[in-house]
């Protein structure tokens, strides 16, 4: 385990199993329908690529970069689109794939933005949900794990752009960000 990690919150094995379950559920819900999977860079990257491999049927992948944190551990509340989707989603079933819903600021903005493009449907798949921190209501259609208010890194989640590559979700030691 990395020395900045206090404990493993969700192991590689637990992630693998839950992601497979979510993929199966999404495949069943969209049977016979086309789906656009939208990866919210960069945090969702690991979840997105693992989840996509468990979805059967006609799937296309697209990417959006929507950042609200910068290098701070606290959300600024301001959402910016740094890179937009390559293709229009008008008339499409969109599943937004996120690593975590924290204050809800990012997803509230993003879901509203995608719905305004006249998608046929817009749903959210979020690996982690931290309801204790919620400031804006966000409905999570496909949820991996509900977690307490710990600062977590790994499996895509960063602290100051670091530790995304860890294969598990770990709790960052307080002394790293204090
Ligand atoms: C993080 C995380 C979510 C968002 C959640 O992204 O990946 O996208 O914050 O926080 P919120 O619910 O309070 O909006 P970040 O802006 O750090 O960019 P990143 O994905 O590139 O790390
Ligand atoms: Mn993110
Ligand atoms: Mg981040």
Centre of ligand 1 to C-alpha 106, Å, is 7
23 pLDDT more than 70: yes
Q: Poorest-confidence range of 95-99, 128-132, 174-178?
A: 174-178
- Sheet containing 5-10: which strands, arranged edge to edge? 5-10, 169-172, 152-153
Supply the pLDDT for residue 42: 95
Contact by Cβ (8 Å): 149, 133: yes
Q: What percent of the chain has pLDDT over 70?
A: 95
In tens, the pLDDT along 34-69 reads 999 999 999 999 999 999 999 999 999 999 998 775
For residue 67, how far is its CA from the centre of ligand 2 (angstroms)?
6
Q: Is the CB of 67 under 6 A from ligand 1?
A: yes
* CA-based end-to-end distance of the chain: 21
- Going by C-beta distance under 8 Å and a sequence separation of 6 or more, which residues neighbour residue 71? 160, 161
Q: Is 144 in the pocket of ligand 1 (CB under 6 A)?
A: no
Nearest ligand (C-alpha, residue 69)? 1
What pLDDT is recorded for position 143?
A: 98
Q: Which position has the higher pLDDT, 72 or 17?
A: 17
Confidence category of residue 6, pLDDT binned at 50, 70, 90: very high
Torsions phi, psi for 84 (to 5 deg) = -90, 170
Of 50, 99, 102, 158, which is the active-site residue?
102
* Ligand 1 pocket check for 164: Cβ under 6 Å: no
Q: Write phi, then psi, for 125 (nearest 5 degrees).
A: -110, 115
Q: Cα-atom radius of gyration of the chain, to the nearest Å?
A: 16
Residue 71 has a pLDDT of 53
Domain boundaries, the chain: 5-154
> What average pLDDT is seen over the chain?
95
Please state whether the predicted TM-score (pTM) of the whole model is above 0.90: yes
pLDDT at 1: 86
Q: Measured from the CB, is residue 46 less than 6 Å from ligand 1?
A: no
Ligand 1 atom at minimal distance to the Cα of residue 130: 12
State residue 70's pLDDT score: 54
Query: Can you say whether the dihedral through the CA atoms of 85, 86, 90, 92 is positive or negative?
Result: negative
Instruction: Indicate the CATH number for domain 5-154.
Output: 3.40.50.2020
Confirm or reject: Cβ of 129 under 6 Å from ligand 1: no
Instruction: Give the pLDDT score at 68.
Output: 76
ipTM of the complex: 0.98
Is 102 catalytic? The answer is yes
Nearest to 106 by CA among 94, 88, 124, 132: 124
Q: Average pLDDT in the 122-127 region? A: 98
pLDDT of residue 74: 59
């Amino acid at each position: 385990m990395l020395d900045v990690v206090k404990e493993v919150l969700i192991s590689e094995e637990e992630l693998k199993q839950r992601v497979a379950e979510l993929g199966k559920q999404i495949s069943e819900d969209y049977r016979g329908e086309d789906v656009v999977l939208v990866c919210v860079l960069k945090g969702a990257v690991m979840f997105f690529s693992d989840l996509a491999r468990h979805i059967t049927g006609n799937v296309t992948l697209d990417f959006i970069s929507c950042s609200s944190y910068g290098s701070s551990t606290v959300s600024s509340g301001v959402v910016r689109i740094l890179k937009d989707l390559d293709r229009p989603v008008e008339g499409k079933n969109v599943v937004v794939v996120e690593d975590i819903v924290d204050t809800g600021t990012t997803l509230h903005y993003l879901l509203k933005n995608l719905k305004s493009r006249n998608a046929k449907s817009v749903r959210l798949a979020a690996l982690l949900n931290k309801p204790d921190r919620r400031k804006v209501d966000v409905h999570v259609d496909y949820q991996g794990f509900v977690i307490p208010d710990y600062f977590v890194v790994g499996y895509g989640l960063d602290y100051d752009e670091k530790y995304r590559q860890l294969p598990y979700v770990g709790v960052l030691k307080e002394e790293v960000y204090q």
